[in-house]
Amino acid sequence: MKKNVLSFLLVSLIQTVIFAQSKIDSSSYPVQVFQLLTKYNWEKNYVDMQDGSILQDPAAERKTVMCLMFRKNGTGSFIQGEQASSFRFRIIDSLVTINEAIYKIDKINDYEMTFSVYAKNLDGDEKFRFHYLATKDTPSEIYLRKLIKPNIVFDAPKKDTIFLFNQEVYPKFRGNSEWLRNVPDFEQAFDDTYGVSYNFIEDEFVSHIPKNINTRFEVSFDVTTRGLVENIVITSSTNPEYNPYLSAAIQNTSRKWLPARWKEKNYKSRIQYAFQTEKEDPNAIAYDPEIYDNFYNRAMGLMARKKYDKAVGLLSKCILMTEDSIDALYKRAECYQAAGIMKYACMDWSFLSSKGLKRAEKLYWQNCKQ
């Protein structure tokens, strides 16, 4: 009897020790997370889906901040380019609450951190996973390394610094706006600069090309520190006989630009555009990543200006290029919905639903089954 009691007490003691040890280990995990979060700055690496599949919405990658900073007083900062905004955070087990959002840390160590949105009611195509790298670099150093230096080229003969057309340092385009002609500076988003200048050149250039033929032109040109255009180089052309018209259309934008400016100094910019015309037969549109991005980015600019009919035309071209244009289909449905053409919006959502996309299914049932 005594032996059985002793065995029972020994087992109970072992279980108590194991339980206590597990509590210590569990409670120390948030401390480890806190120490690692505040030890480094965290630099965006890439974004994918929680199941490891590739990102279905490229906009999610663009919207994800460049750098995260966590401080020991429970505050932090989102850093995007030269812009910063603050937040407060708390750690509960493997969950981190940032302002009102909750994230689950899947992995964190001295090299990398992976986390995802913690919400059980999210649709499958909204379950993003974020990958960040640990770094001792400051946000300014990350900004220079990732967004500034890769876009700097040097004009060898003149040894001028030239910025490749990019979302951080770019010229602005006045076009034929009478109001902007005498304005020394004005706000213009990168997508608007891209879309308005591209459309301006394309409208004039394409008017000289016969309809219903396939053409493709690639061109680069510089916008100087005075807003002039120089160094027009047509790098590729399927129809060289139309090259002079393209050069003339670009030259006509001279003095319609406001120079790129960074750190209180004007810089020369190098812009590279690709123009394409195609036959009316939609099957003739071959997939080209550069042209696809061109159409998509221009459509986003048109949507921002509520020109939904023109945006639909460009998004339709994206959709005809590839069956994987999920983002373009969502955006086209959004245009149809904003324009009040629900029949076509429902058709796009229905098609996306057939691919198993829960967000599209939800939109279809909310808007089309009434």
Q: How many residues does the chain have?
A: 370
What pLDDT, in 10s, does the model give residues 310-349?
Answer: 888 888 888 888 767 888 889 999 998 888 888 888 888 8
Over residues 164-189, mean pLDDT? 79
pTM here?
A: 0.62
List, for residues 198-233, the tens digit of each pLDDT value. 989 998 998 888 877 888 899 999 999 999 999 999
The domain spans of the chain are 26-142, 148-367
pLDDT, tens digit, 9 for 90 and up, residues 114-138: 998 887 655 555 678 999 999 999 9
Take residue 151 and report the two structure tokens written for it.
Answer: 């876009």
Report the pLDDT value the prediction gives residue 270, as an integer from 0 to 100: 93
pLDDT bucket at 287, cuts 50 / 70 / 90: low
- Angstrom distances, CA of residue 25 to CA of 22, 28, 173, 361: 5, 5, 59, 43
Helix (H) or strand (E) holding 227: none
Show the tokens assigned to 18. Answer: 């194991």
Give the pLDDT score at 122: 58
- The DSSP 8-state label assigned to residue 54 in this structure reads P
CATH topology of domain 26-142: Lipocalin (2.40.128)
Q: Per-residue pLDDT for 1 more than 50?
A: no
Which tens digits make up the pLDDT trace of 19-28? Answer: 333 333 444 7
Dihedral sign for Cα 139, 140, 144, 145, please: negative
